[in-house]
Amino acid sequence: MLSQKDLLGLKDLTAEQILSLIDGAFECKKLLLSDCKKSDELKGKTLVTLFYENSTRTRTSFELAGKYLGANEVNISVAASSVQKGETLIDTGRTLDAMKIDFIVIRHSMAGAPALLAKNVKASVINGGDGMHEHPTQALLDMVTLKEKYGTLSGLKVAILGDIKHSRVAMSNLIGLKKLGSEVYLYAPATMLPKDIDKLGAHVCRSREEAVEGADAVMGLRIQLERMNGGLFPSLGEYARYYGVNDNILALAKKGAPVLHPGPVNRGVELTPQVIDGAQSLINEQVTNGVAVRMSILKQLAAFRAANGAVKTANGEKNI
Ligand code: CP
């Protein structure tokens, strides 16, 4: 079970805590797939989504997760908020705190913004993606999808192809998958590989074939055009041809190996349309599991809050 107020990154969690969130997601998925998607486990609690970057999946699935568990849910449109008048992140957080909210899900272009917020508010802060740092809830839903397929995450070979350098998804998956006993094989243009990534335990491959050969799962990544200044690859066509996943590359993986992608997908760039819509694609299942795992996270954070009357913030000790 989680033993902290916030969920900021998988690097902060033990293997047991990650597994308990994944297994909790399987329980939550039963409610999600039932006719009446409603419980009152979070009745009286309030969830705020505060996204400084665009999102479809993460924001909507947190909103739905909260609603399905009976919480009140509010989305702050940053473009229409007092952030535009110069309000700081901390002041925005304290303002929300004063409204007696319980959870803030934040996405921000700056690595470390969720941690800064968490230190300054009583609400539980959940990292919905921060810069090129971590996207823990995405990696958790990826791991739910793989555990659902294989029953375990121990001993799997997971190939991750694409823009590793700018991808918080790749970073969180590498951390989480390694903690649970999988081996992660990476392939990317040299310009899109972070320095020293092998020191985190990744196998850095010299070809797509080496990465995908015998893999239990193949994950494509979106090219994060918003985090680069260009010049990292010659053209989208050449990127697709030399770094993308097509049927021929996928055929090198284990028979039936699932294809994952966090979305949104650039069709025909990271994955061909045939792969996206093919029998091995679990991209839609990832989205479903995203709601379930976010329900699991909210339940565990709520349990922590109920069990702990006070937390430390930058302003001293405060009651939750
Ligand atoms: N995978 C992911 O984070 O998608 P969104 O940007 O739509 O939230």
Which H/E stretch holds residue 185? strand 183-187
Distance CA 182, CA 184 (A): 6
Q: Which residue carries 């694409």 as its tokens?
A: 162
Task: Answer yes or no: is the C-beta of 138 below 6 A from any ligand 1 atom.
Answer: yes
> How much is the mean pLDDT over the chain?
94
User: By percentage, how much of the chain surpasses pLDDT 90?
Assistant: 87
Are 84 and 73 part of one and the same domain?
A: yes
Residue nearest to atom 6 of ligand 1 (CA): 55
Are 116 and 154 part of one and the same domain?
A: no
Please state the domain count of the chain: 2
> Which pLDDT does position 80 carry in this prediction?
85
Structure tokens at 303: 């349990």
Task: Answer yes or no: is the C-beta of 56 below 6 A from any ligand 1 atom.
Answer: yes
Is residue 271 domain-resident? Answer: yes
The per-residue pLDDT for range 98-126, each reduced to its tens digit, is 999 999 999 999 999 999 999 999 999 99
Q: How many CB atoms lie within 10 A of CB 54?
A: 10
CA–centroid distance, residue 128 to ligand 1 (Å)? 9
Helix-helix angle 136-150:57-68, to 10 degrees? 70
Cβ neighbors of 90 (< 8 A, separation 6 or more) are 116, 117, 120
Task: Answer yes or no: is the C-beta of 57 below 6 A from any ligand 1 atom.
Answer: yes
Pocket test for ligand 1, best of 138, 172, 286, 291 (most atoms within 8 A of CB): 138
* CATH, residue 260: 3.40.50.1370
| pLDDT(310) > 90 | no
Q: Is the pTM of this model over 0.85?
A: yes
Task: Answer yes or no: is the C-beta of 262 below 6 A from any ligand 1 atom.
Answer: yes
Distance CA 52, CA 49 (A): 10
Distance CA 259, CA 149 (A): 11
Is the CB of residue 147 less than 8 Å from the CB of residue 140? no
> Which pLDDT does position 316 carry in this prediction?
65
> Which pLDDT does position 227 carry in this prediction?
62
- Report the phi/psi class of residue 209: left, alpha or beta, with left for phi > 0 and alpha for psi in -120 to 50: alpha
Are 129 and 25 part of one and the same domain?
A: yes
Domain range for 204 is 136-284
Structure tokens at 86: 């110069």
Structure tokens at 305: 């809050």
CA–centroid distance, residue 184 to ligand 1 (Å)? 22
Are 141 and 131 part of one and the same domain?
A: no
